[in-house]
Amino acid sequence: MKALRFTDWKTKPSLQEIDRPTPGPGEVLLKVAGAGACHSDVAVYEQFDETTVGPQLAPAYTLGHETAGWIEEVGEGVLGLTQGDAYLVYGPMGCGHCPACSRGQDTYCENAAQTPFLASGLGRDGGMAEYMTVPARNLVPLGDADPVAAAPLADAGLTPYHAIKLALPKLAGGGKTALVIGLGGLGQLAVQILKATTAATVIATDMKTDAMMLAESRGAVTVPAGDEQAARIRELTGGKGVDAVFDFVGLTPTIRLAQQVVAKQGRITVVGIAGGPVQWDFYSNPYEAELTNTYWGTMEELHELAALYRDGHLEVDVTTFGIDEALTAYEHLEKGTLLGRAVVVPHPASAEAGVASADALAAV
């Protein structure tokens, strides 16, 4: 089968012919419906090496840590799963038995130093292939929902969902506001998740006009960049400031904007990994305003997010590519030419049949 392999540090991935894997005990073989291309993959093959990251990320392996697919085969001891059913893959894979993993938060596994890989597609073979194996524990059901457009939910959806979930106490009660900075794949989903799960007014900002128009169509109030940006955002909050800011960029100017507009006792979550440094001192932020970061999400949260998607609350903006065009998908991602997420679809005919049958069921 074809797979997009990361073979060496600071080397672009390459499309290779490898053996179709066999599911081990407790695993399933998934026929990949869609695999999203993520900026973290670019960091993996362009920036990192053995001096900057742990051995868990060392090559070689198949990329793809946001995947959905259909069960093709089940391994020994796997119960209750049916061939052909569609599932999302929860990417992070910890030891499975420590307190963090036991609550489905494999991202903060207490035995992470000893685990052989970080996640599916990050150290272990991921979804940029025709087939992949996944522990049954990591599967989240999609029902009749389209698994191709669902693929980005595993990361581009779960990461903002987790950040928003942790900020929900700040958005409780009426008259609250949330601000989304950066309206790429994650930011667009953040707007929709905020609208679906809170009563807050959602303000959004981006450099791109078309991205702002899309956010407006999803219920956000947008504010363009420029000298008046912070003042205009504060005005929309009635002068109180923003209760929960989500920065999907993470550069110095975007975090600075967040600090300028956050309310007393508000919360700034930096989700974007640009790594911009900022100044913090006793007087730089309003009283008791929190400034924090976030990383991916929990298995339980992916079940919740999948339920929102199945119920029609989330539209995922995707541009699809065949497996032979997987590298082209990453080129578009690096150039920033796509609105939404690049998703590699290794079995286009099955994907269309799956969508058609889901539509037929919806019509009934």
> Which residues make up the interface to Zn ion (CB under 5 A)?
38, 40, 94-95, 98, 101, 109, 111, 155
For residues 84 and 116, which CB has a smaller minimum distance to Zn ion in the complex?
Answer: 116
For residues 289 and 299, which CB has a smaller minimum distance to Zn ion in the complex?
Answer: 299
Least distance between Zn ion and beta carbon 99 (Å): 8
Q: What CA–CA distance (Å, rounded) separates 319 from 80?
A: 33
For residues 68 and 262, which CB has a smaller minimum distance to Zn ion in the complex?
Answer: 68
Give the list of residues 6+ apart from residue 27 with CB closer than 8 angstroms, or none. Answer: 75, 78, 133, 134, 135, 136
Strands 221-222 and 290-293: unpaired
Least distance between Zn ion and beta carbon 4 (Å): 15
For residues 199 and 273, which CB has a smaller minimum distance to Zn ion in the complex?
Answer: 273
Least distance between Zn ion and beta carbon 41 (Å): 7
For residues 78 and 119, which CB has a smaller minimum distance to Zn ion in the complex?
Answer: 119
Strand partners, 123: 119
Of the candidates 116, 123, 118, the one whose C-alpha atom is nearest the C-alpha of residue 108 is 118
Other CB atoms within 10 Å distance of the CB of residue 49: 11
Least distance between Zn ion and beta carbon 261 (Å): 27
Q: What CA–CA distance (Å, rounded) separates 189 from 184?
A: 9
Least distance between Zn ion and beta carbon 159 (Å): 7
For residues 134 and 263, which CB has a smaller minimum distance to Zn ion in the complex?
Answer: 134
> How many residues does the structure list for the chain?
364
Give the list of residues 6+ apart from residue 68 with CB closer than 8 angstroms, or none. Answer: 32, 33, 34, 86, 87, 88, 89, 142, 147, 148, 150, 151, 153, 154
For residues 38 and 255, which CB has a smaller minimum distance to Zn ion in the complex?
Answer: 38
- Secondary structure of residue 146 in the 3-state scheme: coil
For residues 86 and 158, which CB has a smaller minimum distance to Zn ion in the complex?
Answer: 158
Least distance between Zn ion and beta carbon 183 (Å): 17
Q: What phi and psi values does residue 40 have, to the nearest 5 degrees?
A: -60, -35
Least distance between Zn ion and beta carbon 251 (Å): 18
Residue 323: alpha-carbon gap to chain centroid: 21
**Sign for the pseudo-dihedral over CA of 200, 249, 65, 312:** positive
Least distance between Zn ion and beta carbon 262 (Å): 26
The CA distances from residue 114 to 99, 117, 118, 123, in Å, are 15, 9, 10, 13
